[in-house]
Every structure is written in C-alpha cells, then in structure tokens.
Amino acid sequence: MDINKLITEAFEAQKNSYSPYSDCKVGAAILCEDGSIFKGCNIENSSFSVTNCAERTALFSAVANGYSNFEAIAVVGSKEGNNDYFYPCGVCLQALSEFCSDGFLVIVAKSNNDYKSYKLSELLPYSFGRENVL
C-alpha cells in the first residue's frame, strides 16, 4: 500500500473543500482493493446539518462508481491554515463500517511524513451492523 500517494490524494481533495461556514478544510482519499483511489472533500451548506464530511464524500463517490471493497482512507484537515490531525467523526466511522472490515486502515495526516494509522476497529470498536437489521 502506497500510504504516501493516498495522503497526497487527500491533500489534492482538500483543495476542493467547500467550507465557507467553518473554514475547516478537509480532504480524504479512499483506497479500493484493486488500487483505485477516490477523493472527497467536505461540502458545507447554509442549512448546516446538510453538510457532508470529506470521508463520506470519498466513500460514497467510490460506492457510486461500483466499488465496495476498501483497504484504507487518508484524511487531512486544516483550519485557518493550521493543520492538525483530523479524525473521522462518528458518523463517518459508522458509514465506513458498513463497507470496511476491522483491518481497514484510517490514516490521519499532517503531512506526507507526519501521519498516524489506526485500524477502523480501534476507532470504532463497537458499531451498529447488518446483523442488527437483517
């Protein structure tokens, strides 16, 4: 897995962040099992709850294009130019859990050589799942 490339793609996606209300610019890139990468950014809305996070934009873009097996997601963010680690929110972790196995990696990055990597199961040890519904 080329983590550096995934982070670079997340930074590319961040450039498209539409975030006039929070000024939090978030980018994400999700890696599919076959090596394809889909990018996403946060897309805010004047009706705040309509806002979509970068991670879900990337995930939904991949699924909409026929992909449902994933290996990792990289997430980058900044607020007023200062970047820190931006962790996926609970809603995004739940959305990822629908498609991603416990070993799926969540990479939060400040730069290409400053990042942390977690298994999805570390960030979301318990979740609501298909077994609860079917």
Q: Which residues bind ligand THU (CB under 6 A)?
A: 19, 22, 24, 26, 42, 44, 51, 53-55, 88-89, 92
Least spacing, CB of residue 90 vs ligand THU, in Å: 8
Pairing relationship of beta strands 82-84 and 105-111 according to DSSP bridges: unpaired
Residues recognised as catalytic: 55
Contact 39/80 with Cβ under 8 angstroms?
A: no
Our CB check for ligand THU shows the closer of 35 and 128 to be 128
Residue 65 vs residues 19, 58, 96, 100, 112: alpha-carbon distances, Å: 25, 11, 16, 16, 27
Least spacing, CB of residue 108 vs ligand THU, in Å: 10
Our CB check for ligand THU shows the closer of 29 and 92 to be 92
Least spacing, CB of residue 88 vs ligand THU, in Å: 4
Q: What element of type H or E holds 72? A: strand 70-79
Sign (positive/negative) of CA torsion 8, 123, 56, 27? negative
Our CB check for ligand THU shows the closer of 82 and 132 to be 82
- Find how far residue 42's CA is from the centre of its chain: 10
